[in-house]
Amino acid sequence: MSQADWVTTFQQQLETLGVSVNQQPANPLENALCWLIPNEHWSQLAELAAREGLRWSAGWAEHANDEFLINALLEKQGRYWLARTAVGSAKPELPSQANAFHAANRSERHTQDLFGIKFTGHPDKRPWTRHKAWDKHSHPLRKDFPVQGNPASVVPADMDYPFIQAHGAGTYEIPVGPVHAGIIEPGHFRFQAVGETILNLEERLGYVHKGIEKIAEGRTPEGLARLAGRVSGDSTIAHAWAACRAMEHAAGIAIPQQAALVRGILLERERVANHLGDIGAICNDVAFVFAQMQFTRLRENWLRSNAKIFGHRLLMDCVMPGGVKFAPSDADCQHIKQDIAQLRNELTDVITALDLNSSLEDRLYTAGFLSEAIATALGVVGYVGRASGQDFDVRRDKPYPPYDQVTFKVAFETQGDIASRFWIRYKEIMAALKLIERFIDLLEPGDIVADWQTPAAGSEGLGIIEGWRGETVCYVRFAEANRIARYYPRDPSLLNWPALEKLVLNNIVPDFPVCNKSVNGSYSGHDL
Partner 1 sequence: MLRLFKKIITTGIVTEAVKYPQDAELEQLGIRIKRHIDRKFAGSIAIRQVDAGSCNGCELEIHALNNPYYDIERFGVHFVASPRHADVLLVTGPVSRHMQTALLRTYEATPNPKWVIAVGDCATCGGEFGVSYASCGAVANVIPVDAVIAGCPPTPLALIKGLLALCERH
Q: Is 85 in the site for partner 1 (CB under 8 A)?
A: no
Interactions with partner 1, residue window 340-399 (CB under 8 A): 349-350, 352-353, 356-357
Those residues with Cβ within 8 angstroms of residue 469's Cβ, 6 or more apart along the chain or in another chain: 234, 235, 238, 274, 382, 383, 491, 492, 493, 496, 520, 521, 522, 525
Closest alpha carbon to 217 in 28, 476, 456 = 476
> Contacting partner 1 (CB under 8 A), which of 70, 98, 133, 198?
133
Cα separation values, 171 from 161, 194, 196, 259, Å: 20, 5, 10, 57
Measured torsion, CA atoms of residues 388, 393, 397, 400, in degrees rounded to the nearest 10? 170
Q: Is 134 in the site for partner 1 (CB under 8 A)?
A: yes
- Smallest separation, CB 154 to partner 1 (Å): 6
Q: Is 151 in the site for partner 1 (CB under 8 A)?
A: yes
Q: Is 98 in the site for partner 1 (CB under 8 A)?
A: no
- Smallest separation, CB 22 to partner 1 (Å): 36
> Contacting partner 1 (CB under 8 A), which of 231, 240, 253, 494?
231
- Smallest separation, CB 231 to partner 1 (Å): 7
Q: Is 122 in the site for partner 1 (CB under 8 A)?
A: no
CA distance 297 to 276: 9
Nearer to partner 1, 131 or 386 (CB): 131
- Smallest separation, CB 443 to partner 1 (Å): 27
> Contacting partner 1 (CB under 8 A), which of 147, 194, 254, 373?
147
How many CB atoms within 10 Å of residue 408? 14
- Smallest separation, CB 527 to partner 1 (Å): 8
Closest alpha carbon to 472 in 408, 381, 397 = 381
Interactions with partner 1, residue window 271-290 (CB under 8 A): 277, 290
Interactions with partner 1, residue window 312-331 (CB under 8 A): 313-314, 316
- DSSP string of 455-505? PPTT-EEEEEEE-SSSEEEEEEEE-STT-EEEEEEE-THHHHHHHHHHHTT
- Smallest separation, CB 348 to partner 1 (Å): 10
CA distance 440 to 192: 51
- Smallest separation, CB 402 to partner 1 (Å): 26
Q: What is the 3-state secondary structure (H, E, C) of 246-299?
A: HHHHHHCCCCCHHHHHHHHHHHHHHHHHHHHHHHHHHHHCCCCHHHHHHHHHHH
- Smallest separation, CB 354 to partner 1 (Å): 8
> Contacting partner 1 (CB under 8 A), which of 254, 287, 293, 373?
293
Terminal C-alpha separation, the chain: 38
CA distance 256 to 245: 13
Contact (Cβ atoms closer than 8 angstroms) between residue 137 and residue 121: no
Q: Is 104 in the site for partner 1 (CB under 8 A)?
A: no
Count CA atoms closer than 13 A to 350's CA, side-chain side.
Answer: 22
> Contacting partner 1 (CB under 8 A), which of 71, 192, 420, 522?
522
How many CB atoms within 10 Å of residue 76? 18
The count of chain residues that interact with partner 1, using the rule CB under 8 A, is 65
Interactions with partner 1, residue window 185-224 (CB under 8 A): 185-186, 206-212, 214-215
Residue type (1 letter), 159 = M
Q: Is 183 in the site for partner 1 (CB under 8 A)?
A: yes
Q: Is 337 in the site for partner 1 (CB under 8 A)?
A: no
- Look at the chain and count its residues: 528
Interface contacts to partner 1, rule CB under 8 A: 131-134, 140, 145-151, 154-158, 178-179, 181-186, 206-212, 214-215, 226-227, 230-234, 236, 277, 290, 293-294, 296-297, 299-300, 303, 307, 313-314, 316, 349-350, 352-353, 356-357, 522-524, 527
